[in-house]
Amino acid sequence: MTSADTVRLTVSQAVVRFLAQQYTERDGVEHRLVEGCFGIFGHGNVAGVGQALLQAEVEDPHRLPYYLARNEQGMVHASAAFARMRHRLSTLACTASIGPGSTNMLTGAALATINRLPVLLLPSDVFATRAASPVLQELEDPRGYDVTVNDAFRPLSRFFDRVWRPEQLPAALLGAMRVLADPAETGAATICLPQDVQAAAHDWPAELFDKRVWHVARPVPEQAALARAVDVIRSAERPIMVAGGGVIYSEATDALRSFAEATGIPVAETQAGKGSLPYDHPLSLGAVGSTGTTAANRMARDADVVIGIGTRYSDFTTASRTAFQHPGVRFVNVNVAAFDATKHAGVSLVADARESLTALAEALSGWSTADAYRERARALAAEWDETVERAYHLGHGPLPAQSEVIGVVNEVSGPRDVVVCAAGSMPGDLHKLWRSRDPKGYHVEYGYSCMGYEIAGGLGVRMASPDRDVFVMVGDGSYLMMAQELVTAVQEGIKIVVVLVQNHGFHSIGDLSETLGSQRFGTRYRYRDADSGRLDGDKLPVDLATNAESLGVRVLRATTVDDFRAKLQAAKASDGGPVVVHVETDPLVNAPGSESWWDVPVSEVADLDSTVQARKTYEAHKADQRLFL
C-alpha cells in the first residue's frame, strides 16, 4: 500500500536514501554525516544493501558512493581515519556480509570506539524469519536463537541495534546518527541487518527521508565549574597543559595558543593531540609520557597543576601514572565527555575545548606564570630539538637508523601533509621526533595501536583530504598483517605514499622484550635453526617491495639515506595511485630516551637471570606509580 505520505522501499533502499540526507552542522557549517559506503559483498548483503547501493549509484553517483574494500577490518580503519581527519563531523558507512565478513569488522569497531571516532557499521545478520536456518555462517547458539556472531559488536559499539522487523529501522537509524554526531558519545554505531529484512519492502513515512541536520554542540563550561578550575590554576606555580585529540577535533588550536601565550602555561601533547601547537612554538614541549620528550617529561614531573584538554589520559600519556610526581599535583580536566573529565580526581569542566579555553583565558586575564618558568620550558624544548636534530642526522651505517628515515620524511613532506602510523616502534619515535607544523599533519592511531591500520588509515586520510599528501609509515610486521587496501588505492587512483620500513621483525616488541628480560624471544623473522631448534637462523627471504609491486603499486627501492630522500621526493611528485618506498633500517638503533616508563609487568619469579634483573628494575619503577584518588 502506498499513499502520498509513504514511500515503498526495501529496508536497504531506505537505509541508503536516509543516509544520503544526514548532515552535521557546527559553527553554522554543514557537512554530509555519511559521505559514502565501503563494502565487501557476500550472500548476506549482495542482493539487499548491494542492490540498494547499485540503484542509488545508477540514479545519482553522488548519493552514497560505494567503495570496494579488500578486508572488512581495513574498511573500518579507513572510515575511522576519514572521520578523524574531518574532525568527527563526517564519516563513512561499512556494509559487510553475514558471518566472517561482519566479524572481520570487530577490530575496526574497537579501534573506532576507543579512539572516540564515529563509524557506521552495517553487519549483515541471519534470517529474521529463520525460514532456512541454519544459514551458511550462522552461529547457532543452542542457548538462544536470537544470539548471532554480531552480538560480539555490543561491547565494542556505542550504539547497537538489530533490525528484526522493518518497523524498527527508523528508530535504529536515528539512534545511530545521534551517537555518530555527538562528540561525547561517539564511536562505532552498529546496525545489524538480517539478510531477509534487507530485501523486505515497507511503506515508510516520507519524512524519514527529509534532509536532517544534526547540530554538533559546543557545550560551554558551567560558571561554578569554571570558577573552581580558575581557583586551582591561579594557585599554580608550575602548571602545564596536556593537549589531547579533543583540542584538534574541536578546532581549538588557535584558542589553545592564545591561552598559552596569555598565561605562559606550556603545552605537552598526547599522540592524538600532537600538532595542537607547532613544534617550534616557544611554549611547545612536544610529546608527553612514555614516548615523550625530555622537555615535556621534566616539566610534567614537577607540575603542581595539570590541565588536561580533550585527553583520556592513557597509560602512555601518564607514563603509567608516573609522569606527574609533584606530591600535591592537581588536575583540571576539560572534556566533552564527563567520563574523561573526572579522571585523576580532577576538577572537571564538561565542555567543549574551544569554549573552555576561551572562557578560561577571560577568567584568568592578567594572570601568568613567572618569566623564569616560561624560560625553563623554552630552554628544555630547545635542548630536545637539538636531540631531534642529531637523531635526524646520525650518519648511521651501513643501514640507516629509523630516526634518519623519519627525519627525511619530515623534511620531504610539506607543512600541510599528513604522516600516518599506528603500531610498532615508529609511533613512539614519531611522537618524540616528528616536527609537527599543522594540526592535521600528525595522524598516529594510538588508542588501539592496531597493526594493519597504517595503509587502510592512510587511504581514509587521503579520501578525507585529497589536497594533502599522505605519508604512511609502516613496519614489515604491520605490512604483513594488512597491506591489501593498497589494491583499493590502485582501483580508486588514490595517491598515498607508503614508507615501508623493513627490519626483519618486531623492532618494538624485540626491544621491549629485551628490557623486560625476555631476550627478544620470538620477535625476529628468522628461519628455525636446525641445530638450535630455535628461531635464530638466517633472515627469511621475504621481499615486500616485490609483494607491493605485484599488487599493481609503483615501488621505489631505497638503500642509503640520500637515496631514500631522492626516492621519497619522486614519490611525492608522482600523480595518481599509491607509491611504496621501500627502505631497510637497522633494528638495533633506538630513538633518544624519554626519561620515562611504561608499566608492562615482569615475571615475579624466573629461572632466567635476565628476567630476575628486569623484575628488580620493574619494582623500582612501580614504586613511583600514583593512584590520584
Ligand X SMILES: Cc1ncc(C[n+]2csc(CCOP(=O)(O)OP(=O)(O)O)c2C)c(N)n1
Would you say 79 or 502 has its CB closer to ligand X?
Answer: 502
The number of beta carbons lying within 10 Å of the beta carbon of residue 304 is: 17
User: Taking contact as CB under 5 A, which single stretch among the options 44-52, 71-79, 153-161, 473-481 is the one that binds Mg ion?
Assistant: 473-481
Smallest gap, in angstroms, from Cβ of residue 477 to Mg ion? 5
Of residues 91, 124, 478, 488, which one binds ligand X by CB under 6 A?
A: 478
Alpha carbons 361 and 341: distance in angstroms, whole number? 19
Residue 568 CB, shortest distance to ligand X, in Å, is 18
Written as one letter, the residue type at 402 is Q
Using CB under 6 A, pick the residue from 66, 214, 446, 506 that binds ligand X: 506
Which of Mg ion, ligand X, none interacts with 478 (beta carbon under 5 to 8 A by kind)?
ligand X
Among 503, 513, 596, 611, binds Mg ion (CB under 5 A): 503
Residue 516 binds ligand X (CB under 6 A): no
Q: How many binding residues for Mg ion (CB under 5 A)? A: 4
Distance between CA atoms of residues 183 and 91, nearest Å: 13
* 476 vs 584, beta carbon nearer Mg ion: 476
Contact 245, 344 (CB under 8 A): no
Q: Calculate the CA dihedral of residues 487, 492, 494, 497 and round it to 10 degrees.
A: 10
Give the integer Cα–Cα distance in Å for 111 and 348: 26
Least distance CB 212 / Mg ion (angstroms): 46
Partner whose footprint covers residue 381, from ligand X, Mg ion, none (CB < 5 to 8 Å by kind):
none
169-180 vs 11-19: helix crossing angle, rounded to 10: 30
Stretch that binds ligand X, among 31-39, 213-221, 290-298, 474-482 (CB under 6 A): 474-482
Q: Is residue 584 involved in binding Mg ion (CB under 5 A)? A: no
Q: Decide whether 279 or 506 has the Cβ nearer to ligand X.
A: 506
Tell me: does residue 472 bind ligand X (CB under 6 A): no
End-to-end CA separation in angstroms for the chain: 62
Query: What character string, x for contact with Mg ion (CB under 5 A) and - otherwise, covers 371-410?
Result: ----------------------------------------
Measured from the CB atom, the residue of 230 and 405 that comes closer to ligand X is 405
* Residue 428 within binding range of Mg ion, rule CB under 5 A: no
Residue 507 interacts with ligand X (CB under 6 A): yes or no: yes
260 is written with which cell numbers?
A: 598559552
486 close to 148: Cβ distance less than 8 angstroms: no
**Range in contact with ligand X (rule: CB under 6 A) among 212-220, 316-324, 387-395, 473-481:** 473-481
For residue 477, state whether it binds Mg ion (rule: CB under 5 A).
yes
Cα–Cα distance between 172 and 9 in angstroms, integer? 17
Query: Which of ligand X, Mg ion, none interacts with 450 (beta carbon under 5 to 8 A by kind)?
Result: ligand X
Residue 472 DSSP SS3: strand
**Placement of cell 560551554 in the chain:** 220
Handedness of CA 83, 85, 88, 89 (dihedral sign): negative
Query: Helix or strand or coil: residue 167?
Result: helix
In angstroms, the CA 389 to CA 188 distance is: 40
CB of residue 426 to ligand X, shortest distance in Å: 6
The answer to whether 283 and 266 have CB atoms below 8 angstroms apart is: yes
Q: Does 352 bind Mg ion (CB under 5 A)?
A: no
Q: Which of 203, 225, 192, 211 is nearest to 335 (CA)?
A: 225
Spatial distance between the Cα atoms of 500 and 523, rounded to a whole number of angstroms: 18
Residue 90 binds Mg ion (CB under 5 A) = no
Does position 404 bind ligand X by CB under 6 A? no
Euclidean distance between CA atoms 425 and 423, whole angstroms: 7
Q: Should residue 475 be labelled a site residue for Mg ion when binding is judged by CB under 5 A? A: yes
Give me the least distance between CB of 490 and Mg ion, in Å please: 24
CB 124 within 8 A of CB 152: no
Interface residue with ligand X, options 46, 450, 463, 561 (CB under 6 A): 450
Q: Which stretch binds ligand X (CB under 6 A): 233-241, 282-290, 445-453, 460-468?
A: 445-453
**HEC per residue, 282-327:** CCEEEECCCCCCHHHHHHHHHCCEEEEECCCCCCCCCCCCCCCCCC
Give whichever of 73 and 195 is closer to ligand X, judged by the CB atom.
73
Rounded Cα distance between 617 and 126, Å, is 53
Residue 424 binding ligand X, by CB under 6 A: yes
Query: Quick check: 423 binds ligand X (CB under 6 A)?
Result: yes
Q: In the chain, what's the furthest Cα-to-Cα distance?
A: 81
Q: Does 426 bind ligand X (CB under 6 A)?
A: yes
| Residue placing its CB nearer to Mg ion in the complex, 51 or 515 | 515
Chain position carrying cell 616560561: 374
| Minimum CB–partner distance for residue 108 and Mg ion (Å) | 22
Whichever of 342 and 515 has its CB closer to Mg ion, that residue is 515
Out of 229, 233, 509, 579, the residue judged to bind ligand X by CB under 6 A: 509
Three-point CA angle 374, 245, 451, nearest 5°: 120
For the bound state, the minimum distance from the C-beta of residue 509 to ligand X, rounded and expressed in Å, comes to 5
Alpha carbons within 13 A on the beta-carbon side of 380 = 24
Nearest to 309 by CA among 335, 344, 270: 335
Stretch in the footprint of Mg ion (CB under 5 A) among 39-47, 58-66, 468-476, 484-492: 468-476
Task: Give the one entry of Mg ion, ligand X, none that residue 358 binds, where binding means its C-beta sits below a cut-off of 5 to 8 angstroms depending on kind.
Answer: none
Q: Name which position in 320, 449, 594, 596 contacts ligand X (CB under 6 A).
A: 449
Answer for the pair 74, 107: CB distance below 8 angstroms, yes or no. no
Which helix (H) or strand (E) element contains residue 426?
Answer: helix 426-433
- Choices 438-446, 447-455, 498-506, 594-602 (CB under 5 A): range interacting with Mg ion: 498-506
Contacted entry of Mg ion, ligand X, none for residue 403, CB cut-off 5 to 8 Å set by kind: none
| Binder of Mg ion out of 35, 138, 429, 476 (CB under 5 A) | 476
Measured in whole angstroms, how far is the alpha carbon of residue 126 from the centre of its chain? 31
- Judged by CB under 5 A, the chain residues 528 through 547 that form the site for Mg ion are none
Q: Which stretch binds ligand X (CB under 6 A): 44-52, 411-419, 500-508, 532-540?
A: 500-508
CA distance 419 to 403: 14
Partner interacting with residue 425 (select from ligand X, Mg ion, none; CB below 5-8 Å by kind): ligand X
Query: Which residues fall within 8 angstroms of residue 615, CB to CB, at 6 or more apart?
Result: 517, 602, 603, 604, 606
Contacts with 285 (C-beta within 8 Å, 6 or more apart), sequence order: 240, 266, 267, 268, 269, 293, 295, 296, 299, 377, 380, 381
For ligand X, which stretch binds (CB under 6 A), given 50-58, 284-292, 475-483, 551-559? 475-483
Angle, in degrees to the nearest 10, between helices 402-412 and 426-433: 60
Least distance from Mg ion to the Cβ atom of residue 539, Å: 12
Residue numbers at the binding site for ligand X (CB under 6 A): 423-426, 449-452, 475-478, 481, 503, 506-509
Residue numbers at the binding site for Mg ion (CB under 5 A): 475-477, 503
